[in-house]
Structure 1
Amino acid sequence: MNIKSYIQITRPANVITAVSDILAGVAIAVFSFSYEEVNITGVLFLCLATMGLYGGGIVFNDIFDLELDRIERPERVIPSGKISKTNAVIYGSFLLISGISAAWFNSPLSAIIAALVAACALVYDKYGKHHSFFGPINMGLCRGGNLILGMSIIERSIEQWWFIGLLPVCYIAAITMISRGEVHGGNKNTLYFAAFLYIMVSTAQLYFSYQLNNLPVAAAFVVLHIYLIFKPLLAAIANPIGPNIGKAVKAGVLSLIVMNAAWVSVSGNILLALVVLCLLPVSIWLARFFAVT
Structure 2
Amino acid sequence: MSNLKPYFQLARPANIVTAIADILAGMTITQFIFEPSAHSAYWLILATIGLYGGGVVMNDVFDAELDAIERPERPIPSGKVSPNAAALLGISLLVMGIIAAGMFSLLSAQLALIIAALAVIYDRYAKHSAVFGPITMGLCRGGNLLLGMSVVSQSLIEWGWVALVPIAYIGAITLISQDEVHGGKRRSLYIAASLYMSVHAIQFIVAFQQGNGSMALLLIALHALLIGHPLWKAFQNPIGPNIGKAVKAGVLSLIVMNAAWCVAFGNWPIALVVLLLLPLSILLARVFAVT
CA distance in 2, matches of 1:275, 1:239: 36
Match of residue 196 from structure 1: 194
CA distance in 1, matches of 2:61, 2:37: 36
- Identity percentage of aligned residues: 56
Alignment partner for residue 149 of structure 1, among 147, 150, 153? 147
User: Counterpart of 2:127 in 1: which secondary structure?
Assistant: helix
Alignment partner for residue 74 of structure 2, among 73, 76, 93? 76
Give unpaired runs (5+ residues) of structure 1.
none
Q: Counterpart amino acid of 2:24?
A: L
Task: Return the offset for 1:105.
Answer: 1.0
Task: Return the offset for 1:37.
Answer: 9.2
Q: Counterpart amino acid of 1:255?
A: S
CA contact (8 A) 1:178 1:194 kept: yes
- Where do 1:227-246 residues align within 5 Å? 227-246=225-244
Task: Return the offset for 1:180.
Answer: 1.1
CA distance in 2, matches of 1:37, 1:134: 40
CA distance in 1, matches of 2:70, 2:34: 50
Match of residue 125 from structure 2: 127
Alignment partner for residue 205 of structure 1, among 200, 203, 206? 203
Match of residue 14 from structure 2: 13
CA distance in 1, matches of 2:38, 2:118: 27
Match of residue 269 from structure 1: 267
Alignment size in residue pairs? 290
Give unpaired runs (5+ residues) of structure 2.
none
Task: Return the offset for 1:7.
Answer: 1.1
Is 1:247 equivalent to 2:248 in the alignment? no
Task: Return the offset for 1:177.
Answer: 0.6
CA contact (8 A) 2:128 2:178 kept: no
1:86-107: CA deviation from partner (whole Å, max 9, x where unpaired): 1111111110000001101111
Alignment partner for residue 177 of structure 1, among 160, 175, 178? 175
CA distance in 1, matches of 2:34, 2:274: 19
Q: Are the structure 2 counterparts of residues 48 and 36 from structure 1 closer, same or farther at C-alpha, using a change threshold of 3 Å?
A: closer
Task: Return the offset for 1:36.
Answer: 6.7
Match of residue 100 from structure 2: 102
Q: TM-score, normalised by structure 2?
A: 0.97
- Where do 1:268-287 residues align within 5 Å? 268-287=266-285
- Measured on the aligned residues, the alpha-carbon RMSD in Å equals 1.3
Q: Are the structure 2 counterparts of residues 39 and 154 from structure 1 closer, same or farther at C-alpha, using a change threshold of 3 Å?
A: farther
Match of residue 93 from structure 1: 91
